[in-house]
Amino acid sequence: MSEYIPSPRQWVREQVELYESSGGKEGLTLRDTGLPVIIVTNRGRKTGAVRKTPLMRVTDGKNYILVASQGGAPKHPVWYYNLKADPNVEIRDKENVYKMRVRQVTNPDERARLWKIAVEAYPPYQDYQNKTNRIIPVFIAEPIE
């Protein structure tokens, strides 16, 4: 396994550390929102290092919907480019860890359906989309059989 490089953002580092050190029993929500998060582990496209990102927990059956919103910032989050370069990820959902493969959803009907689920789970996604000119990317993470 490659070296783990924690996020430069302190709150992200702390959340990942609490989530993982507690075995998925603590740090399960986004800051003070009370809304559940998962930890997505992927490989950095430039460094090859292990990266870990807390994302909102949005599910569609056994699949997870990953929304590259970055709070409606004008640019995609770094993890977007990492997933495009290497679609193999691990998702920690509380005590469970799943090996999954992601794909960016490009079919308009599929994206619209998944976007609706994502916004129901985390309504600020729609505000983020409204404040940026980019189309916020949506990925679907599917179990590796």
Position 1 scores a pLDDT of: 57
More confident residue, 87 or 31: 87
Residue 80's H or E segment, with its range, is helix 78-85
pLDDT band at 31 (very low <50, low <70, confident <90, very high): confident
Q: CATH number of the domain at 10-143, please? A: 2.30.110.10
pLDDT band at 66 (very low <50, low <70, confident <90, very high): very high
Residues in Cβ contact with 51 at an 8 Å cutoff, skipping those fewer than 6 apart: 4, 5, 7, 41, 42, 43, 44, 78, 79, 82
Are 122 and 136 in contact by the 8 Å Cβ rule? The answer is no
Q: What is the mean pLDDT of the chain?
A: 95
Q: What is the pTM of this model?
A: 0.95
